[in-house]
Chains A and B, each alone.
Chain A
Amino acid sequence: MKFEWFVASRYLLSRRKQSFISIISVISIAGVGLGVATVILVIAVLDGVDHGLRERFLANEAHVVLRLIDHRFFGDYQNRIDRITQVEGVVAASPVVYSQMAIFQSGQESITDAIYVKGIDLVQEDEVTSFSKYVTGSVDFKTSPLIEEAELREGETISGGIVLGYRLASQLGLTEGDVLRLVVRLADNPGSVGSPTLFVDFANFVVIGVYESELAIYDSRIGYIDVDTAQKLYESVGKVNVILVRLADSEMASELSYEIEDAAQFSNEDQVPKTSTWLHTHSALFAALKMEKIATVIIEALIILVAAFNIASTLIMTVMEKTRDVGTLRTLGASRGNIMRIFMIQGSVIGMLGTFAGTGLGLGLCWLLSTNIVRPSLWIALGTIAILIIAQIVLVYNRLLQSPKVRKIGMALLWLLGICFALYCFVRPISLKELGFSEIYQMNQLPIKVNWFFVCFINLLSFVICWLATIYPAWQASNLKPIEALQYE
């Protein structure tokens, strides 16, 4: 072993009475470790949110939405879709009649809410958004048996089946087989005399299924009906007002949107096309997430910096305590470089141990927070900790193990295992649904996604910060004059 490593390792594992220095070393290691663990965990959550949202948006949304600038209906949509799908990079396209309808349940006196209604072609929609995958119940908008079985007031008819977002369904208290009455449109009643009255066009739909995407914006605001039904309701047979497009690479949405507009071949005079991309629609959200991540990294780097100051102060204290040793070593022929390296190695090892421990803790917590398995009861965890405390007391007071070294290592191992087990019992996936945050965060469980590149980056950053923190104390030690160091009291 190189001389500097030999001396530094002995100072780290000092067997003399400098328990104070040793405790500070442990605190320094813990400080760095906690900093690293926190940053890994927080970034894993933020990346999980980012990744989870992207995954859900991409599964539930089209990559490009094509419509006319004044939201008007347009015909010849199937030909337009065929031409759009021939654009390189486009996987599929589907026609949609997109509208808003008001809820006016029978027996109520006023309109309670308005929802978005998507009239879709099931086969084509599934190619674009995997719609059916998220539906519980039926997707058979026209021939579901529930439509036949539905009870109506006299004189009213059923327009078809509707699939409701599950939050919306529970908010309205509707289950499969219930009838939902929607106001399709209002029009002036030409027969009214005096003050004008409005003609209200109702449509009744039977709830045939519920849609659960885990994205609150879809699950609480949208209903899905058949595109033909929607066309009939709006008296626009053979027309739609939106075409949804799925791409092979979702990141290419902005680049391909102009080609998609061209392929749709709208006449430029009265039909001005407009595309919007999923990235553009959610740009504010992703920008906020990115900003949050940058802010987190800066704050966490500051935490590690504070921990690095611990290392610096530990080393300064070690240098003060080892001043006579430095004098002796210089007398024996150790150079300034030798002395500097001894203390830099000592500080770097503290930093490295802290970084590795923090990485282990951070990754362990990420695993525990994302693994849905049945854990032992919390009482077992508390019992384990209690047993460890009792074992520690018994060992200390009765000195059951003769060798202090064996006693120390044995107890340290037991504590490590005990704490790992307690964490295993305590740390479970966090249900945002149970906490009532699922609407805010758009997902039911706290998402975790370990970013390995970032884990490596934070390890490197932490190690560099800790290494930098060793320079000044080590330089101070190397600058001690041998005679003054030897005579240091």
Chain B
Amino acid sequence: MDKQIRIDNLHKSFYDGDSELKVLKGVNLDVDKAEILVIMGASGVGKSTLLHIIGTLDRPTEGSIFYDEQDITIFSENELTLFRNDAIGFVFQFHQMLPEFNALENVAMSRLIRNSKNIGSLDGSSSTPQEVYQTAEHLLDSVGLSERLNHYPSQLSGGERQRVAIARALMNNPKVVLADEPTGNIDDKTSDAVLDLLLEVNEKLNQTFIIVTHDSRISERAKRTVHLVDGRIAE
């Protein structure tokens, strides 16, 4: 199977004055294309840190991350921003909606950002504002929120917000969707619905999903689960 992501001897330390806190101590991990990978581990073990580094939101202290065999740790700040906009979608535990914008605008935001840079996507496509909102509407429709397009985050339930977040993550048709505790802040019933949606999207769109979670129900339904123990991956 083709490798989507290869992580090679990844280290991450945080510094507080002279003291060094080693969080990741040599992570090696391969993720296949269209795979759903679940990363589990105890609280504070560095799951989110690993996800943030994979998502280019943070840089490793040492080691490399390859997307389609391209090392992204050597990218400049601007290159990383463009790469993040184009190739990665995020779903967070607290959904991170923009409160001043309605569901449709929240979903469309990443494409609006891309258009503002006057560049197309990595595959060369670009869209007019009408096309952007049509795509966003379609995505919200596909997550069952066609009736909530003009609702603001404060007018949506937790589950609905998380579904908006999933639609937003898919807006730029990314290679990889990274989810940090996507069911961590919603009840069990809603969690199941969100999980169903993630699996359905993965199956339909063939996108790679990396999910960091405590929730064993997610690992039960994923094809592959790894554990992060003492800063290293244990299969």
- Assess whether A26 is interfacial by the CB under 8 Å rule: no
A6 within 8 A of B: yes
Bound: A325/B109 CA distance, A: 12
Partner of B110, one of A332, A336, A481: A332
Please tell me if A3 contacts chain B, counting CB pairs below 8 Å.
yes
CB <8 Å contact, B113 and A332: yes
User: Contacts of B84 on A, CB cut-off 8 Å?
Assistant: 331-333
B96 touching A3 by the CB < 8 A rule?
no
Interface centre among B90, B100, B109, B114 (most CB of A within 10 A): B100
Looking across the interface, which residue of chain A has its beta carbon closest to that of B96?
A328
- A10-B152 Cα distance, complex, nearest whole Å: 13
CA A6 to CA B109, docked complex, whole Å = 10
B57 A483 Cβ-Cβ under 8 A: yes
Assuming the contacts A10-B101, A15-B100, asked whether A332 and B109 have C-beta atoms less than 8 A apart, the reply is yes
Interface residues of A in 82-136 (CB under 8 A from B): none
A486 to B114, alpha carbons, bound, how many Å?
20
The digit string for A6-33, where 1 denotes a CB below 8 A from any CB of B, is: 1000110011100000000000000000
CB distance from B114 to the nearest CB of A (A): 7
Chain A 330-358, CB within 8 Å of chain B: the 1/0 string?
11111110100000000000000000000
| Residue B120, interface by CB 8 Å | no
Closest-CB distance, B123 to chain A (whole angstroms): 15
Task: State whether A335 touches B81 (Cβ < 8 A).
Answer: yes
Task: For the complex, give the distance between the alpha carbons of A11 and B82 in Å.
Answer: 24
In the complex with contacts A3-B115, A333-B113, A486-B92 CB distance below 8 A: yes
What chain B residues lie within 8 Å of A332 (beta carbons)? 84-85, 90, 109-110, 113, 168
Complex contact B96–A335 (CB within 8 A):
no
Once A10-B101, A15-B100, A333-B81 are accepted as A-B contacts, the answer to whether A482 and B57 lie under 8 Å apart by CB is: yes
* A47 proximal to B (CB < 8 A): no
A4 to B112, CA, bound (A): 9
Distance, CA A16 to CA B116, complexed state (A): 26
Q: Which of B116, B152, B168 contacts A2 (CB 8 A)?
A: B116
Is B181 part of the binding interface, using a Cβ–Cβ cutoff of 8 Å?
no
Total number of A residues with any Cβ neighbor in B under 8 Å: 26
Complex CA distance for A11 and B85, rounded to whole angstroms: 22
Partner of A10, one of B97, B100, B116: B100
Decide yes or no whether B205 CB sits under 8 A from chain A: no
CA–CA, A481 to B59, complex, Å? 11
Among B90, B92, B109, B110, the one with the most A-chain Cβ atoms within 10 Å of its Cβ is B109
Taking a contact as CB atoms under 8 Å apart, the answer to whether A4 and B100 are in contact is: no
Q: Does A329 contact B (CB under 8 A)?
A: yes
Q: Are A329 and B57 touching (Cβ within 8 A)? A: no
**How many pairs, one residue from A and one from B, have CB atoms within 8 Å of each other in the complex?**
71
What CA separation (Å) do A338 and B116 show in the bound complex?
9
Task: Tell me, in angstroms, the Cα distance from A336 to B117 when the chains sit together.
Answer: 12
Assembled-state Cα–Cα distance A276/B108 (Å): 77
Task: Note all chain B residues with C-beta closer than 8 A to A325.
Answer: 98-100
Select which of B100, B112, B152, B168 is within 8 A of A3 by beta carbon. Answer: B112
- How many whole Å from B85's CB to the nearest CB in chain A? 2
Instruction: Output the least CB separation between A31 and chain B (Å).
Output: 25
B148 beta carbon closer than 8 Å to chain A:
no
Whether B57 contacts A334 by the Cβ 8 Å rule is no
Bound CA–CA A2/B110 (angstroms): 13
Kindly state whether residue A324 has any CB partner on chain B within 8 Å: yes
Is A52 located at the chain interface by the 8 A CB criterion?
no
Q: Indicate if B70 sits at the interface (CB-CB under 8 A).
A: no
Is the Cβ of A331 less than 8 Å from the Cβ of B113?
Answer: no
Contact, CB under 8 Å: B112 / A327: no
A2's nearest neighbour on chain B, judged by CB, is B116
Q: Is the pair A335, B86 in contact by a Cβ cutoff of 8 Å?
A: no
Cβ contacts under 8 Å, B78 to chain A = 335
A11 and chain B: residue at smallest CB distance: B100
Contact A328 B100 (CB under 8 A): no
**Measured between C-beta atoms, what is the minimum distance from A409 to chain B in Å?**
19
- Minimal beta-carbon separation of A198 from chain B (angstroms): 93
A404→B214 CA distance, assembly (Å)? 45
- Whole-angstrom distance from the CB of B233 to the nearest CB of chain A? 21
Tell me whether B98 and A328 are in contact (CB under 8 A): yes
| Most chain A beta carbons < 10 A, residue from B52, B81, B110, B154 | B81
User: Which parts of A474-489 form the interface with B (CB within 8 Å)?
Assistant: 481-483, 486
Which residue in chain B gives the minimum CB-CB distance to A332? B110
| A331 and B57 contact, Cβ closer than 8 Å, known pairs A6-B112, A336-B77 | yes
Those of B109-146 within 8 Å (CB) of chain A = 109-110, 112-117
If the complex has contacts A11-B100, A334-B81, are A3 and B113 also in contact, measured as CB distance less than 8 A? yes
Cβ of B203 under 8 Å from chain A: no
A225 to chain B, nearest CB (A): 81
User: Chain A residues with Cβ under 8 A from B98's Cβ?
Assistant: 325, 328-329
**Which residue on chain B has the smallest CB distance to residue A14?**
B100
Q: Is the CB of B112 within 8 A of A16?
A: no
A330 to B81, CA, bound (A): 8
Q: How far is the CA of A254 from the CA of B52 in the complex (A)?
A: 78
Our pick among B86, B92, B101 for the contact of A333 (Cβ within 8 Å) is B86
Choose among A6, A15, A333, A338 the residue with the greatest number of B CB atoms under 10 Å from its CB: A333
With A and B bound together, what is the CA distance between A328 and B85 in angstroms? 12
- Contacting A at CB under 8 A, from B38-80, are 52, 55, 57-58, 77-78
Cα(A328)–Cα(B101), bound, Å: 13
Q: How far is the CA of A274 from the CA of B85 in the complex (A)?
A: 83
B90 neighbours in A (Cβ, 8 Å): 331-332
Contact with A along B167-183 (1 / 0, CB 8 A): 01000100000000000
Residue of chain A at shortest CB distance from B77: A336
Nearest A residue (CB) for B129: A1
B178, chain A: closest CB distance, angstroms: 10
Known: A10-B101, A482-B57. A333 touches B96 (CB 8 A): no
Nearest Cβ on chain A to B24's Cβ, whole angstroms: 14
Which residues of chain A are near B116, meaning CB under 8 Å?
A: 2-4, 338
Tell me the A291-349 residues at the B interface (CB within 8 Å): 324-325, 327-336, 338
Q: Which 8 A-B pairs have the closest CB atoms?
A: A333-B85, A3-B116, A332-B110, A328-B96, A10-B100, A3-B112, A335-B81, A482-B57
- 20 contacting pairs across A/B (C-beta < 8 A): A2-B116, A3-B113, A3-B115, A15-B100, A325-B100, A329-B109, A330-B81, A331-B90, A332-B113, A332-B168, A333-B84, A333-B85, A333-B86, A334-B113, A335-B82, A481-B58, A482-B57, A482-B58, A483-B57, A486-B92
| Known A15-B100, A335-B78, A338-B113; further 8 A-B contacts with Cβ < 8 A | A2-B116, A16-B154, A325-B98, A331-B84, A332-B109, A333-B114, A333-B172, A486-B57
